Amino acid sequence: MHFLFPSFLFALVVLVIPFIIHLFNFRRYQKVYFSNVQFLKQIQEQQASRRNLKERLILLARLLTLLFLVLAFARPFLPGKNSAATGRQQVISVFVDNSYSMEVLNREGTLLDEAKRRAKEIASAYSINDRFQLLTQDFEGKHQRLLSRDEFNDAVDAVKISPQSRNLQQIVDRQQSLLLEQQGALRTSFILSDFQNNIAGQHPVKADSTVRFNLIQVKSGMLPNIAVDSVWLLSAVHRSGESEKLVVKLHNYASQKADKVPMKLLINGEQKAQGSYAIDPHAVQLDTLSFSGLSPGWQRAELQLQDNPVTFDNQFYFTFNVKQKEPVLIINGSSTNTFLDAVFKTDPFFAAKSIADGNVDYAGLDSFPLIVLSDIKAISTGLSQQLKAYVAKGGSLAVFPAEDADLANYKSFLQSVDAGWPLQLVLEPSRVAAINLQSEIFKRIFENFPQNPDLPVVSKYYKLSATPRGENLMELAGRQAFWSAYAIGRGKVYVSAVPLSDGFSNLQRHALFVPVMFRIALLSGHDQPLCYTLGQDDYIAVAPFQSDDKQVLKLTKGNFSLIPDLRDQQGDARLFIGDQLPEAGNYELKRQDSTLAVVAFNNSRAESDMSYLSPSVLRADFPQAAPVLQPGSASIRGDVADLNLGLQLWKLCIILALIFIGAEILLVRYYHPGKQVFSPNTNR
């Protein structure tokens, strides 16, 4: 047995006091005078041995009472595995889970409120000289320091819900990064969480053996919850006034079927569609919403579910841009290609610009989603370098070689962008034998594809080299490529085996030519995601734009404003935001007074699954941790003290002291050995 405060044992000297009282009876005898002693004849003398027994029992009771009182103040305990903590300073790291799932209510309020209360109880179980670290899902720099108990309690009070969500290994690594720096101190970790399934990693947690880890689970019962996992639009390009179809992926995370779940779609604050859905338990369901009447510009969209009691995932935000015009740049050789001009003039949505290959403004190439090269005999070195950078940034390039093309020059350029190139001129006539209906280009061209289609006729063509990146849009007999597409990162390169000339084929006059060129144009350009996820996407990629040091970019929402870190990487303008956004919603990317883009951020749906890890699973995932503690309504201060020191006996000492006080009272009041009552009838 050990003592937490052994100095209190000096108080055992008080045990001398009962001995003094019993050895020296300081009571003064009072004389009583009797007129006749014959009345005392029937009184029998009490035996001295019985009288001494009573006094010794009272003395023993008093000694034991004082003994156990002194021991209670000395805090005795039976040492456990952590008994080395006695007398040494300790460093305690407490992780408080403040993810969205901790907003759920239980009998104690929200789970976060309970976790904060438990954190304070943990601190109260330690000495005033021990030091504490508070850690939350935010992993803030201010939490990478040690606090006194009062500072720790103040920091706990300031903890709020966060969109971040970390796994158990990340939490342990973060705690260890500070604890292992404290040389000579005893290191202890407490992790307070509901321990949702998503907190577990793919492998068991690895932790340092010098740190003692304790898991405390706070949770509510299984709750029904439905959330929108993701959305996507069926149209690649969005045009003003046209109808749109939105596919919504709904997920029922509960074990009960959800009936009549209402959902509505708002765009720019105006309701565009609504519906009511039934979803089976633990099922995923796809539904389609149709809407129209959009004006040009950025669309701020929001899906709203009415689903209680879990509400943090009832909104899903996304944005997209409705274009007024689609610019196309046509770079010609010796003369303007009339067929390309005619194609894009048939639809006012396209704004085609034709220039000669010697008059290209290289600085403005990024403003065109699609660039078409036509009838250029040899591509200049400067244009070649600029087009290579353009494709790397996500642009689309269509190449129609000239009738007298310099094949070596084309090979040098197209090989640099990992596309196929013309090998040689083939003078044999042929016909397009097949088209790739699985390609994105042809998916929305045909309603019903005929069995014997009329396909382009070829008089002569350039044989294209085969590359692993290539996808044949059209093929000649013998699976020879006639028109191929090549995915180069986010960019696309389309290479034709024939010029747009009647001497090579009738492609430029064929009915397929116009819709194929339209589809290539509509699928071109920088494809910004509909939304991002808070805590998972550290940066956003936007379309390249011209900027200077005097123009500051800001990401704004209401009164919130953030200046992101702008970097040019891999041809993209990347805005690094980290974990600086406070909440989900639609944010505007502004440069001075102009809006460059509108970007949507949503909470991670990993928090939507209200199922929790059992203590046995947690034990298997984190074998180094102590057994999982699932507290009830009582304080865990005593449990923490037992974990820290071992089995504490001070409560037992208090109980024994009270028992011996009661024993003394009973001995004094009711125990009278050898007593006889005088009866007057004995004299008769």
Predicted local confidence at residue 117, as pLDDT: 93
> Would you state the pLDDT for residue 640?
77
Q: Are 157 and 136 spatial neighbours (Cβ–Cβ below 8 Å)?
A: no
Distances (CA, A) of 656 to 10, 13, 61, 97, 298: 20, 19, 10, 41, 77
User: What is the spatial distance between Cα 94 and Cα 91, in angstroms, rounded to a whole number?
Assistant: 10
Q: How many CB atoms lie within 10 A of CB 13?
A: 9
Cβ atoms within 10 A of the Cβ of 318, count?
A: 26
Identify residue 332 by its one-letter amino acid code.
Answer: N
CA distance 597 to 572: 14
pLDDT higher than 90, residue 573 = no
In this prediction, residue 35 has a pLDDT band, given cuts at 50, 70 and 90, of low
Q: What is the pLDDT, as a whole number, of residue 424?
A: 93
Residue 546: the pLDDT is: 60
CA distances from residue 331 to 138, 349, 382, 400 in whole angstroms, order as listed: 51, 20, 14, 10
- The per-residue pLDDT for 317 is 95
Query: Which residues, including other chains, have CB under 8 Å from residue 529's CB and lie 6 or more apart?
Result: none
Asked if residues 377 and 405 have their Cβ atoms less than 8 Å apart, the reply is yes
The amino acid that residue 579 corresponds to is D
Mean pLDDT of 614-637: 86
The residue ranking higher by pLDDT, 54 or 69, is 69
Residue 100 has pLDDT above 70, yes or no: yes
pLDDT of 233 over the 80 cut: yes
Q: What is the pLDDT of residues 370-418, one digit of tens each?
A: 999 999 999 999 999 999 989 988 889 999 999 999 999 999 999 999 9
238-239/226-233 β-pairing: unpaired
Both ends of the chain: CA-CA distance in Å?
A: 66
Can you give 374-438 as a three-state secondary structure string? ECCCCCCHHHHHHHHHHHHCCCEEEEECCCCCCHHHHHHHHHHCCCCCEEEEECCCEEEEEECCC
What is the crossing angle of helices 381-392 and 407-416, to 10°?
30
Alpha-carbon dihedral angle through residues 120, 125, 130, 131, given to the nearest 10 degrees: -20
**In which element (H, E) is residue 190 found?**
strand 186-193
DSSP string, 614-661: -HHHHHHH-TTSPPPB---SS-SHHHHHHHHHEEE-HHHHHHHHHHHH
Say whether pLDDT at 535 is over 80: no
- Percentage of residues of the chain with pLDDT beyond 90: 40
Angle between helices 111-124 and 637-645 (to 10 degrees): 50
> Does 200 or 309 have the greater pLDDT score?
200
Closest CA to 237 of 609, 595, 521, 637: 521
pLDDT at 50: 64
CATH class of the region 329-522: alpha beta
Span 672-681, mean pLDDT? 53
Residue with tokens 């595995």: 81
Span 333-346, mean pLDDT? 88
Mean pLDDT of 582-598: 88
Give the per-residue pLDDT at 423. 93
pLDDT of residue 80: 56
Query: What is the pLDDT, as a whole number, of residue 548?
Result: 58
Q: What is the mean pLDDT of residues 56-61?
A: 84
At 338, which helix (H) or strand (E)? Answer: helix 338-345
Q: Which two tokens stand for residue 127?
A: 């000495």
pLDDT score of 419: 92
Cis link prior to 348 (omega < 30° from 0)?
A: no
Kindly state the tokens that stand for 176: 């260890």
Residue 204 CB coordination number (10 Å)? 14
Q: How confident is the model at residue 684 (pLDDT cuts 50, 70, 90)?
A: very low
Closest Cα partner for 238 from 347, 322, 328, 325?
A: 322
Tens digit of each residue's pLDDT (9 = 90 or more) over 183-229: 888 899 999 999 988 888 888 999 998 899 999 999 876 678 889 99
97 exposed, middle or buried (CB, 10 Å; 0-12, 13-18, 19+)? buried
Q: Quick one: pLDDT at residue 310?
A: 81
Q: In the block, which residue shows the tokens 């006539």?
A: 429
Domain boundaries, the chain: 2-74+654-683, 83-222+611-648, 329-522, 532-602
Q: How far apart are CA 663 and CA 93, in angstroms?
A: 46
**Does residue 165 surpass a pLDDT of 90?**
no
Architecture of domain 83-222+611-648: 3-Layer(aba) Sandwich (3.40)
Task: Pick 678 or 176 by higher pLDDT.
Answer: 176
Rg of the chain's alpha carbons, rounded to an integer?
Answer: 42
Give the CA count within 13 Å in the CB-facing half-sphere of 186.
18
According to DSSP H, which parts of 483-614 are helical?
Answer: 513-522
Cα torsion 195, 199, 201, 207: sign: negative
Contacts of 26 (CB under 8 A, 6+ apart): none
Higher-pLDDT residue of 537 and 213 is: 213
The residue with greater pLDDT, 679 or 402, is 402
Alpha carbon distance 215, 118 (integer Å): 12
Cβ-in-10-Å burial (0-12, 13-18, 19+) of 157 comes to exposed
Contacts of 393 (CB under 8 A, 6+ apart): 366, 490, 491, 526, 544, 571, 572
Average pLDDT over residues 228-242: 86
Provide CB contacts within 8 A for 389, sequence distance 6+.
571
CA atoms within 13 A of residue 408's CA, in its CB half-sphere: 0
pLDDT at 468: 78
State yes or no: pLDDT of 676 exceeds 60: no
- 322 versus 32: which is more confidently predicted? 322
In this prediction, residues 134-150 reach a mean pLDDT of 92
**Residue 311's pLDDT band (cuts 50, 70, 90):** confident
List the single range of 66-80, 231-245, 296-310, 401-415 with lowest mean pLDDT.
66-80
The strand pairing partners of 96, in sequence order, are 192
CB hemisphere CA count around 89 (13 angstroms): 13
Q: What is the mean pLDDT of residues 586-615?
A: 88
Minimal CA–CA distance to 312: which of 680, 626, 610? 610
Which contiguous run of DSSP H or E holds residue 587?
Answer: strand 585-591
Q: Tell me the sheet residues that pair with 322.
A: 238, 297
How high is the pLDDT of residue 503?
Answer: 92
For residue 683, the model assigns a pLDDT of 46
Answer whether residue 559 shows pLDDT above 50: yes
83-222+611-648 shares its CATH topology with 329-522:
yes
Tell me the C-alpha distance between 140 and 96, whole Å: 13
Over the stretch 341-353, which tens digit does the pLDDT of each residue have?
999 988 888 999 9
Mean pLDDT of 135-159: 92
- Give the list of residues 6+ apart from residue 90 with CB closer than 8 angstroms, or none: 126, 127, 130, 131, 185, 186, 187, 188, 644
pLDDT band at 51 (very low <50, low <70, confident <90, very high): low
pLDDT exceeds 90 at position 609:
no
Model confidence at 586: pLDDT above 80: yes
Mean pLDDT of the chain: 85
Question: Mapping DSSP to helix (H, G, I), strand (E, B) and coil, where does residue 454 land?
Answer: coil
Average pLDDT value for residue range 28-41: 60
Average pLDDT over residues 119-129: 89
Q: CB neighbours of 391 closer than 8 A, spacing ≥ 6?
A: 397, 417, 488, 489, 491, 492, 493
Give me the count of residues in the chain: 684
The CA-based angle 400-402-407, given to 5 degrees, is 95
Q: Would you give the distance in Å from CA 202 to the centre of its chain? A: 16
